[in-house]
């Protein structure tokens, strides 16, 4: 494998982003240090220590909430287009620091440098989307049954929005939420994954620059760090009306129960067990490209990664053989070397989950056709590099019913009409992303119909992985049902209010009720 020395620019990137050896675990834009315990961030690329953050204590959290609620009083009364101007400036800052932040994302999370740059581009794109949206936050006007009355509905900001993000997209998912919440007049408190805290510090630094340059309160964007116990400070807090949480289904169920218990609102983006259906009319070349990137991109650690390939028996061997040949061409190594296709898993716990999944599929009667394994030696010292694997399996295998957050692809065979493949796809508990490869119009429309895919995302002739910010992103069933990013997802961050105005000298009651005095 080719290797890259530590002169690839990460030190320069950290300097540009203002990420120091020890960073505040709690921040409202200032450099006040927390009194909490230390979290060390080690890169899965080479095992080196990137830096440290201090966890947020209850006392720190109290200060953060004070800053956030105070900032909300200022931020909510700014006209939305003026808030859009601030978001525009934030997007421009991201453009200036795209390379540096992309390198940090790649180095701290382990995804390829191109994917790191792509993640920052998603942040820029959602800022652009939000800027336009700032002049389009709309309500509805409707006719009243009472003469001389006007009815309409409008949207108001919630207040403090709590954001809990996952390691696999350490910056983009925060931006999806934050850019829209800011436009809507909300302020945000963000708990990034404890596995990628430096990315959180970098983003907070960029946001703080923008607010300082505009003489705005630093509490509009707040950062807290730590494990689930720190997240609980937000989920239990009645002053945080909306919690947006991205992560595992297990985590999401805990958050949903806690927030619902206080009658708060939650936006959940949870697990995905995504499938591509390959019909007899599929373009095999396109299928292989979509399936391979979907299965091995980000080392299989995307919520939209392709886990299952449901292939018709008539083309099964052809697709299988093409996949095996394609996997032989994969280059595994340092993700900052753009010659490599696959970087490391996030940590050794993820490696253990990967190896256990391969053992499980064999125990259940599956057949490994592309061998996996953990890589060691020069360039693999972190212990986080694994070989993407392919296993033949059956739909009812227990391991196939669960999300394996690693580069393991399960091949499933179907017979008969497209309805049989759709049934296999839909029988898992998750419902995030789905795709069909076919040149048959009837099959494509059936897949997209009411009786088709039950996922929040359904694609034709592209893979399951990757989404543009213009469309609402999210899924059904154990994926949580939330929607982020584009379309009308902005409404999640606001409270709806119906208004009736009487401009007469009479007071008629609705439904013709008589109440004479």
> Percent of the chain, pLDDT > 70?
96
Q: What tokens appear for 494 in the block? A: 């606001």
Whether the CB-CB separation of 5 and 39 falls below 8 Å is answered with: no
Structure tokens at 435: 């795709």
How far is residue 61 CA from its own chain's centroid?
A: 24
Q: What digits encode the pLDDT tens for the residues 400-419?
A: 999 999 999 999 999 999 99
Count CB neighbours of 400 within 10 A: 25
Phi first, then psi: what are they for 185, rounded to 5°?
A: 100, 5
* Arithmetic mean of pLDDT over the chain: 95
When pLDDT is averaged across residues 271-288 and rounded to a whole number, the result is 98
Over the stretch 476-496, which tens digit does the pLDDT of each residue have? 999 999 999 999 999 999 999
Residue 151: is its pLDDT beyond 60?
yes
Which of these, 407, 423, 471, lies nearest to 277 by C-alpha position?
423
> What does the H/E/C string look like for 149-215?
EEEEEEEEECCEEEEECCCCCCCHHHHHHHHHHHHHCCEEEEECCCCCHHHHHHHHHHHHHHHHHCC
**325 contact partners, CB below 8 Å, separation of at least 6:** none
User: pLDDT tens digits, residue range 329-352?
Assistant: 999 999 999 999 999 999 999 999
CA angle centred on 432, ends 203 and 90, rounded to 5°:
20
3-state secondary structure of 33: coil
Would you place residue 35 in the very low, low, confident or very high pLDDT band (cuts 50, 70, 90)? Answer: confident
- Which residues are paired to 430 by β-bridges? 477
pLDDT score of 4? 34
- DSSP character for 511? G
281 pLDDT above the threshold of 70: yes
pLDDT of 261 reads 98
Distance between CA atoms of residues 322 and 189, nearest Å: 47
H or E, element range at 133: helix 113-133
What single DSSP character describes residue 34? P
Give me the pLDDT at residue 23, please. 72
What are the start-end ranges of the E strands in 215-352?
221-224, 242-246, 265-269, 274-278, 306-312
Q: What's the pLDDT band for 33 if we cut at 50, 70, 90?
A: low
Distance CA 209, CA 221 (A): 11
What integer pLDDT is reported at residue 1 of this predicted model? Answer: 29
User: Distance between CA atoms of 71 and 69, rounded to whole angstroms?
Assistant: 5
pLDDT at 2: 30
Integer Cα distance of 204 and 165 in angstroms: 14
Whether 488 contacts 472, CB under 8 Å: yes
- Is the pLDDT at 315 greater than 90? The verdict is yes
SS3 477: strand
pLDDT for 30 equals 42
Mean pLDDT in residue range 94-108: 97
Count of CB atoms within 10 A of residue 194's CB? 19
> Cα–Cα distances in Å, from 357 out to 200, 328, 361, 367, 403?
31, 21, 6, 13, 10
> Does residue 501 have a pLDDT over 80?
yes
Between CA 120 and CA 127, with CA 125 as vertex, the angle to 5 degrees is 100
- Mean pLDDT for the stretch of residues 157-168: 98
- Answer whether residue 131 shows pLDDT above 60: yes
Report the pLDDT value the prediction gives residue 516, as an integer from 0 to 100.
84
Between helices 80-96 and 172-184, what is the axis angle to 10°?
160
Confidence band of 20 (pLDDT split at 50, 70, 90) = confident
Average confidence (pLDDT) over 381-409:
97
H/E stretch holding 312 reads strand 306-312
Q: Which pLDDT belongs to residue 24?
A: 66
pLDDT at 162 over 50: yes
Distance from first CA to last CA of the chain, Å, rounded?
A: 89
Residue 464 in tokens: 């399951």
The phi and psi torsions of 4 (rounded to 5 degrees) equal -125, 130
Which range has the worst mean pLDDT, 5-14, 60-69, 102-111, 217-226? 5-14
CA diameter of the chain = 90
pLDDT at 6 over 90: no
Please list the active-site residues: 269, 303
């Amino acid at each position: 494998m080719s290797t890259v020395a530590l002169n690839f620019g990460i030190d320069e990137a950290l300097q540009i982003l203002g990420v120091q050896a020890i960073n505040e675990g709690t921040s409202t834009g200032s450099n006040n240090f927390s009194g909490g315990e230390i979290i060390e961030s080690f890169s899965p690329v080479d095992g080196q220590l990137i830096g440290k953050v201090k966890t947020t204590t209850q006392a720190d959290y109290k200060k953060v909430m004070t800053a956030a609620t105070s900032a909300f009083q200022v931020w909510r009364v700014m006209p939305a287009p003026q808030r859009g101007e601030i978001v525009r400036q934030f997007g421009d800052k991201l453009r200036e620091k795209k390379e540096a932040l992309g390198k940090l994302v790649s180095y701290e999370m382990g995804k390829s440098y191109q994917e790191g740059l792509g993640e920052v581009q998603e942040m820029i794109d959602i800022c652009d989307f939000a800027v336009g949206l700032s002049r389009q936050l709309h309500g509805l006007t409707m006719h009243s049954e009472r003469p001389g009355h006007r009815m309409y509905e409008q949207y108001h900001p919630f207040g403090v929005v709590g954001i809990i993000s996952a390691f696999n997209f350490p910056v983009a998912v925060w931006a999806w939420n934050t850019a829209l919440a800011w436009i809507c007049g909300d302020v945000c408190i963000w708990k990034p994954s404890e596995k990628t805290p430096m990315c959180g510090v970098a983003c907070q630094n960029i946001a703080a620059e923008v607010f300082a340059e505009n003489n705005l309160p630093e509490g509009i964007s707040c950062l807290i760090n730590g494990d689930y116990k720190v997240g609980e400070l937000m989920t239990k807090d009645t002053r945080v009306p909306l919690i947006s949480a991205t992560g595992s289904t297990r985590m999401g169920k805990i958050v949903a129960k806690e927030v619902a218990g206080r009658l708060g609102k939650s936006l959940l983006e949870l697990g995905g067990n995504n499938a591509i259906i390959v019909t007899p009319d599929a373009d095999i070349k396109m299928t292989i490209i979509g399936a391979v990137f979907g299965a091995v991109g980000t080392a299989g650690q995307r919520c939209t990664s392709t886990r299952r390939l449901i292939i018709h028996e008539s083309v099964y061997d052809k697709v299988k053989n093409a996949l095996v040949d394609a996997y032989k061409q994969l280059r595994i190594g340092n993700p900052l070397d753009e010659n490599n296709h696959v970087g490391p898993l996030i940590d050794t716990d993820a490696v253990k989950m990967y190896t256990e999944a391969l053992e499980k599929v064999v125990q259940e009667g599956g057949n490994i056709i592309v061998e996996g394994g953990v890589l060691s030696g020069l360039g693999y010292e972190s212990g986080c590099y694994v070989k993407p694997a392919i296993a033949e399996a059956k739909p009812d295998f227990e391991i196939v019913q669960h999300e394996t957050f690693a580069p393991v692809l399960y091949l499933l065979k179907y017979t008969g009409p497209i309805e049989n493949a759709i049934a296999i796809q839909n029988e898992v508990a998750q419902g995030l992303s789905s795709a069909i490869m076919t040149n048959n119009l009837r099959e494509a429309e059936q897949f997209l119909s009411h009786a088709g895919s039950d996922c929040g995302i359904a694609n034709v002739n592209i893979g399951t992985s990757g989404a543009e910010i213009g469309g609402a992103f999210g899924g059904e069933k154990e994926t949580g049902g939330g929607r982020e990013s584009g379309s009308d997802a902005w409404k999640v961050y606001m409270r709806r209010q119906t208004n009736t105005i009487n401009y007469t000298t009479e007071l008629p009651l609705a439904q013709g009720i008589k109440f004479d005095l």
